[in-house]
Structure 1
Amino acid sequence: MLTCPKVYIILVNYKNWQDTAECLESLFKLDYQNFKVIVVDNDSQNGSFAQLRSWAAGDSPVLFNEQFYAATPVASYPISKPVPYLHFDSESINGAALADEKLLLVESRKNLGFAGGNNVGCRLALAHQADYVWLLNNDTVVEKESLTHLVAHFEKSKYNRQRLGILGAKLLYYHNPNFVQAILGKYKPLTASTTHIGLNRPASTPFHDLRIEADDYVVGASMFVSADFVKEVGFMCEEYFLYFEEIDWVKRGAAKNYTIGVCLEANIYHKEGASIGGSIKDNNNKSELSDFYSIRNRLIITKKFYPRFLYPVYLSLVAVAANRVRRKQFDRIPLILKALKSSKKSTL
């Protein structure tokens, strides 16, 4: 086992520098030392990237939520500034030389989506001998021991000759931290929908009865991935743009005999949906962007991995359309038709 593997933590920022900076504040309090953080800004066009540089310089402070920090063991004091960083353009990171700076800020000239933004970070990490990459949503806050627990769990699995590929963490609600948001996800192929395992259970739940099944997956808010997995399975599929990429990655890994797991000692607090205007679960507050990709990608992933369920998935979209009408979201009906058309053009 490696005594102190090199970890690259990857955050994708989109128009939400305050959440990203708060996440960074918690990451730079980790008790694990051998890591770097890559922040990929997905062409925010609202000054987010400049604000992140200003935060690193000590000129743009984070607004800490006093209620959250009083209820959790996460320390609310700001880290010392300035934070040394390197600045890259996503088009010119190939061959980029890294020094001792722990923070790498990468500016993308276009919005690459969830997978594309993370893949930029993964390529940079693997080019610099990463042992692991930790794909972490920017609207999260981590406990200081979380990375130590993730590394230890993965290294133990290697020692036991298990082909663990992706490791999840215990996701807790940022705004209600005594309750679980998810420990894993469960995909339901009949309707191409998902549920969260552990949803709304008390944070202290031991989950002794947990059994990971074939259609379970690691929730994309926190995916701790071995470099070997990425090299053998490949990067995340970018055609989805938003939603279902993690399920695709897990299914492709399973085809190469990789398994998934969850480290229940690693506590991650997640705000959920802050960057895209509502989560995939929050149908009443979904942005049009969120709604489009959640409908489109149901069909894409079904065609790719569950083709025998394609007909019932099409039928389930009738219920989706009916729900939009019931909520008087009449403008979403053309969006559903657009999503159907887009899914048929998919090359996956």
Structure 2
Amino acid sequence: MPLLSIITVNYNQPEATLQLLDSISACAPECSYELILVDNGSGPESVEQFKLLNKDIQFIRSEKNLGFAGGNNLGIRQATGKYLFLVNNDTEFTPGLADQLIATLERNPQAGMVSPKIRYYDEKEIIQYAGFTPMNYFTCRNRCIGQWEVDKGQYDNYEGETGFVHGAAMMVSRQALVRAGMMAENYFLYYEEMDWCDRISQAGFKIMLNTRALIFHKESLAVGKKSALKEYFMNRNRILFIRRNAGGLQRTFFWLYFVTFVAMRNTFAYLKNGDTAFIAVFWRAVWWNLTQRRDSTKLGFDLK
């Protein structure tokens, strides 16, 4: 039984995935580990490239795109490690990354999840993530600590609690997984890791950050930095997250805030930037939440 299971999901990005696998090999954990690659309904060209991989890599193929949570959950079901490290396929490891995160979970028995510091791959001195502030459930707003700052060591050597892990690189203990369950798959994309953090916290575990561990991230490689897909699921799932995790008073206030302030602000932004097609996408996201149960598996968006 390995101490660590490393899980990554590919969707039509074989080159990025192979680069990640090379970085894992170059910065391999000192502990025993298994590597699980899930192909999430990619075209045949991805599958052909993965057939040439080392036989020690466990390859799982889904004929359908199951989304971020669904693809990772496929890997989780096959994983046997005490700790599971879920990493985006558009990330690259650095030396000591996994070992540092394991050490955090080993030193803190009440820790259920931990993320490393994340810097942008294209601008390697710029921070993407050094923790999250707690969520304001009245507005569904919080802050990503350190984002866009030049890394001058201002967040180094921190090992402690944070509001949420980052979905690009998150390690979870099997104990927390057993108690809280896997990620909710009806999010499909965005907010599922925050929902998971809330459930793991409610199960009695701490959400941690270790900035001595570092990973690089090629952000939004999968869905594009600006797309209808991203716009739809970011808005749909922001509402869904509140429906699933906030109290009654918080939900009421949030709806008023969202359909007045957020809707007006986003509409003006779409018009200003020439993204008028996103107006219909935004209201489709709102309509999904008005017409679907919070456990609905209907996406409300054509992925083709």
Band of TM-score, shorter chain: 0.7 to 0.9
Match of 2:69 in 1: 115
- Within 5 Å, give how 1:219-234 maps onto structure 2: 219-234=166-181
Structure 2 residue 186 is the aligned partner of structure 1 residue 239 = yes
- Which residue identity lines up with residue 293 of structure 2 in the other structure? S
SS across alignment from 1:195: coil
Structure 2 residue 223 is the aligned partner of structure 1 residue 276 = yes
Gaps in structure 1 of 5+ consecutive residues: 57-82, 85-100, 279-285
Once the two structures are TM-superposed, the CA of residue 330 in structure 1 deviates from its matched residue by: 1.6
SS across alignment from 2:125: strand
Match of 2:259 in 1: 314
- Which residue identity lines up with residue 39 of structure 1 in the other structure? L
Conserved 8 A contact 2:2-2:34: no
Distance 2:157 2:60 in 1: 42
Once the two structures are TM-superposed, the CA of residue 226 in structure 1 deviates from its matched residue by: 0.2
- Which residue identity lines up with residue 288 of structure 1 in the other structure? A
Once the two structures are TM-superposed, the CA of residue 204 in structure 1 deviates from its matched residue by: 4.0
Once the two structures are TM-superposed, the CA of residue 262 in structure 1 deviates from its matched residue by: 0.8
Compute the TM-score of the two structures, normalised by the length of structure 1.
0.77
Structure 2 residue 25 is the aligned partner of structure 1 residue 28 = yes
Structure 2 residue 140 is the aligned partner of structure 1 residue 192 = yes
Distance 1:207 1:7 in 2: 26
Compute the TM-score of the two structures, normalised by the length of structure 2.
0.88
TM-superposition CA deviations, 1:210-255 (whole Å, max 9, x none):
7746xx2111001000011111000001111000011101111121
Gaps in structure 2 of 5+ consecutive residues: 296-304
Distance 2:83 2:45 in 1: 31
Residues 46, 342 of structure 1: CA spacing in aligned structure 2 closer, same or farther, 3 A cutoff?
farther
SS across alignment from 1:184: coil
- Which residue identity lines up with residue 47 of structure 1 in the other structure? E
SS across alignment from 1:176: coil
Conserved 8 A contact 1:118-1:135: yes
Conserved 8 A contact 1:167-1:261: yes
Structure 2 residue 134 is the aligned partner of structure 1 residue 136 = no
Match of 2:101 among 138, 142, 150: 150
Conserved 8 A contact 1:303-1:310: no
Once the two structures are TM-superposed, the CA of residue 318 in structure 1 deviates from its matched residue by: 2.4
Match of 2:301 in 1: none
Match of 2:214 in 1: 267
Conserved 8 A contact 2:132-2:142: yes
Distance 2:50 2:141 in 1: 35
Match of 2:277 in 1: 331
- Which residue identity lines up with residue 151 of structure 1 in the other structure? I
Residues 322, 188 of structure 1: CA spacing in aligned structure 2 closer, same or farther, 3 A cutoff?
farther
- Which residue identity lines up with residue 215 of structure 2 in the other structure? I
- Within 5 Å, give how 1:247-258 maps onto structure 2: 247-258=194-205
TM-superposition CA deviations, 1:55-97 (whole Å, max 9, x none):
x2xxxxxxxxxxxxxxxxxxxxxxxxxx22xxxxxxxxxxxxx
- Cα RMSD (Å) of the superposition? 2.0
- Which residue identity lines up with residue 3 of structure 2 in the other structure? K
- Within 5 Å, give how 1:25-104 maps onto structure 2: 25-29=22-26, 30-45=28-43, 47-54=45-52, 56=53, 83-84=54-55, 101=56, 103-104=57-58
Query: How many residue pairs get matched?
Result: 285
Once the two structures are TM-superposed, the CA of residue 188 in structure 1 deviates from its matched residue by: 4.3
